[in-house]
Amino acid sequence: MTKQVPSTVFKTRVRNEALGGPNPFEWKDLSTDDVFKDKNVVLFSLPGAFTPTCSTSHLPRYEELYEEFKAEGVDAVVCLSVNDAFVMFQWGKAQGAENVFLLPDGNAEFTRKMGMLVDKSNLGFGMRSWRYSMYVENGEIKQMFVEDGYEDNCPTDPFEVSDADTMLNYLKNR
């Protein structure tokens, strides 16, 4: 598999102490190049911040294995979700995420261009990302692990192959 990650701009919030006050954050656009160019990146995508599997298993295990990913030549571990920057920031704080970069895809543009956008209206979520992970070198997708059962309004939430251990095993054995 050799496919470039789609070009998009992510709307993020960054801390700027010069602003002062109780909310010293400002908007910062991050392009696909900012995230992937000249880097080896593990990205995993999940249906939503604060949701059960995402909060108890998916994000925490990537956070836990972060140093092992670094040892395999990974420059960044990124968690993407179709949530806005405010939700992703608060989820990161609640999770104590210090190493995994939480990337908001609030408009679902990246997710749509990846072909991973699904309707989860059956859960009241609207349009969200299907659960997957990928290893990317300089913007080129080298490996993807996509959960089985991709469909709109899926009655289950498969979580078998997009986990941190599967990705780490791939990297150790490539």
Per annotation, catalytic residue among 35, 54, 97, 100 = 54
Is position 79 annotated as part of the catalytic site?
A: no
Alpha-helical runs (H) found in the chain: 32-36, 52-53, 59-64, 66-71, 85-95, 109-113, 164-173
Cα of 96 vs its chain's centroid, Å: 16
Task: Decide if 52 contacts 25 (C-beta within 8 A).
Answer: no
Token pair 């009655």 is found at 155
User: In whole angstroms, what is the distance from residue 42 CA to residue 22 CA?
Assistant: 33
Task: Decide if 103 contacts 136 (C-beta within 8 A).
Answer: no
* Active-site residue set: 54
